[in-house]
Amino acid sequence: MWRVPEMAGFVVTANDLLVGDVIYLTPAQGWTRRLREAAVAPDAAAGEELLTEARRQPARAVGPYLIEVAAAADGPRPTVLRERVRASGPSNRPEHGRRPEDL
Partner 1 sequence: MYSYDDFDEAFVRARVATFREQVARRIDGSLTEEEFRPIRLMNGLYLQLHAYMLRVAIPYGTINPVQMRQLAMIAERWDKGYGHFTTRQNIQFNWPELRDVPDILDALADVGMHAIQTSGNCVRNVTADHFAGAAGDEIEDPRPTAELIRQWSTDHPEFLYLPRKFKIAVTGSPNDRAVTRAHDIGLRMLRDADGAPGYEVIVGGGLGRTPMIGKVIRPFLPKAELLPYLEAVLQVYNLLGRRDNKYKARIKILVHETGIDEVREMVEAAFVLKKEAFPGADPDLVAAIEAAFAPPRFIEGLMYAPLKGKARVWATTNTAAHRHPDYAIVTVSLKAVGATPGDATAQQMRVMADLAERFGHGELRVSHEQNVILPHVHRAHLAEVHEALLEAGLGAANVGLLSDIIACPGMDYCALATARSIPVAQEIAAHFEAREREIGPFKIKISGCINACGHHHVAHVGILGLDRAGVENYQITLGGDATESAAIGERPGHGFPAEALIPALDRLVQRYLELRRDPSEPFIDAFRRLGMTPFRDALYPDGGTRDAA
What residues make contact with partner 1 under the rule CB under 8 A?
15, 17-22, 58-59, 62-63, 79-82, 85-86, 89-93, 96-97
Q: Which is nearer to partner 1, 2 or 64 (CB)?
A: 64
> How far out from the chain centre does Cα 54 lie?
11
Q: Nearest distance from residue 44's CB to partner 1, in Å?
A: 17
CA distance 40 to 69: 8
Beta strands in 8-84 (DSSP E): 9-16, 22-25, 31-32, 61-72, 75-78
Q: Nearest distance from residue 79's CB to partner 1, in Å?
A: 7
Cβ neighbours of 27 (radius 10 Å)? 16
Residue 18 CB partners (closer than 8 Å, separation 6+): none
Q: Which is nearer to partner 1, 46 or 85 (CB)?
A: 85
Q: Which is nearer to partner 1, 29 or 79 (CB)?
A: 79
Q: Nearest distance from residue 60's CB to partner 1, in Å?
A: 10
